Amino acid sequence: MAGIYIHIPFCERKCIYCDFYSIEDNSLQQKFVSSLIKEIELSDAVWQNEIIETIYFGGGTPSVLSPHKIGTILKAIHNRFNISAEPEVTIEINPGTIIPHYFKEYLSSGINRVSIGVQSFRDQDLQFLSRIHNASEATNTILDARRSGFNNISIDLIYSLPTQTLDNWKEIIRRAVEFNPEHISAYNLTVENQTPLSRMVQSGSVTIPEDDLCAKMFRYAMKYLEECGYIHYEVSNYSLPNMESKHNSNYWMHKPYLGLGPSAHSYRNDLRWWNHRNIGDYLDNIAEGKVPLSGSEHLTPQQTMIEEVMFQLRMGKLDFNHLQNKFKIEMDPSQKLIKDLINDNYIEYKDGIVKLTENGFVFCDEITKRFLNSFSIM
């Protein structure tokens, strides 16, 4: 099984925290769609032997494209690849870019899952993030998606904003649950290099909340969403039973995926490659009949092992039996690290399987480093 990711690079306005490749010039939409279809046709024939079980439109802002353009892209994908009988097909939606009747047209084109970039139900937060929508438009977008027949809706939220208190965050997460979405993503605000937000932090005009407050917000989300029936299946992701994002889960489980569009990454058989992070270079390559390849790397066994440890722990567990069989790794024979982590209430351990506790999720990055330092490849 494999997945396909399509990067739509257009945005109405770039958000201050985003470091994904996007442009605000929407005049290139038609040329881009035509080139994307050519890239699909140029894709390596090896992908025709893979069963594609997930398709994901990300960006950028995919919802700036009309349902007709999205449908044209999906038709080209179905013509080229071996698509499973019931694929998960997701499109990211930004409130403020969507017309209500688009939802039914997306459904008709084959989209069966929407990921709505709400980020917050407080106008003050949205203004800080430079989002183009307000809280009322976010609410209406969720309701329009449900009324149109979508039964797989994900809501994206961001916490640890300078404009938020713990009480604000509690109200935001409770408000999200009121819509009964099948999936909620709750991301800690990250200050990425070369973004307007990073320059604001460096200049001192913006102060990011202290780690202690961020941890309290994270703990509240974990506890409250669990009480509401959501499963915490990845550090930032929660779903109702059996409603996890298949596409992202496959990515974290190191399954192969093909990336299409500028800046998109692909992975198969320990080889990772990526497209040009510039729409001009991307369009020029396609016009010349070339795959728009910018670079590639072949992962060593150690690199692959490091990624698997990171991904597994982000999903809340670590399977030593799998790691031993695949990478022939050894751990400290005394298992001192395991004992220390259990005593500190970071993990539970049984039959070779580590499971993160709530406390463990909070310190996932540090725990990952400690495990990686304890491994050696035989």
Q: At what angle do helices 67-80 and 29-42 cross, to 10 degrees?
A: 10
Give the C-alpha separation, 116 to 141, whole Å: 8
25 and 119 belong to one structural domain: yes
Q: Mind listing the pLDDT tens digit of every residue in the chain (378 residues)?
A: 899 999 999 998 889 999 899 999 899 999 999 999 999 999 988 898 899 999 999 999 999 999 999 999 999 999 999 999 999 999 999 998 899 999 999 999 999 999 999 999 999 999 999 999 999 999 999 999 999 999 999 999 999 999 999 999 999 999 999 999 999 999 999 999 989 999 999 999 999 999 999 999 999 999 999 999 999 999 999 999 999 999 999 999 999 999 999 999 999 999 999 999 999 999 999 999 999 999 999 999 889 999 999 999 999 999 988 888 888 877 665 588 899 999 999 999 998 899 999 999 999 999 999 998 887 654
pTM of the model: 0.95
Supply 326's token pair.
């695949």
203: containing domain: 2-252
Beta bridge partners of 169: none
Q: What is the CATH number of the domain that holds 332?
A: 1.10.10.920
Q: How far apart are CA 142 and CA 115, in angstroms?
A: 10
The string of DSSP letters for 329-355 reads: EE--TT-HHHHHHHHTTSEEEETTEEE
With beta carbons less than 8 A apart as the criterion, state whether 154 and 145 touch: no
Encoded amino acid at 338, one letter? I
Considering the domain architecture, whether residues 188 and 330 belong to the same structural domain is answered as no
- Same domain as 124, residue 35: yes
Three-state secondary-structure class, residue 159: strand
Q: Which two tokens stand for residue 374?
A: 């304890």
Does 81 lie in the same domain as 202?
yes
Residue-wise pLDDT tens digits, 11-46: 988 899 998 999 998 999 999 999 999 999 999 888
- Residue carrying structure tokens 């670079």: 295
Q: How far is it, in rounded angstroms, from Cα 229 to Cα 172?
A: 17
Q: How many structural domains comprise the chain?
A: 2
Phi and psi torsions of 274, nearest 5°: -145, 150
Q: Beta strands of 46-112 (E only): which ranges?
A: 51-59, 82-93
Are 305 and 247 members of one domain? no
Task: Tell me, yes or no, whether 246 and 315 share the same domain.
Answer: no
Q: Do 85 and 161 sit in the same domain of this protein?
A: yes
Q: Residue 315 in 3-state DSSP?
A: coil
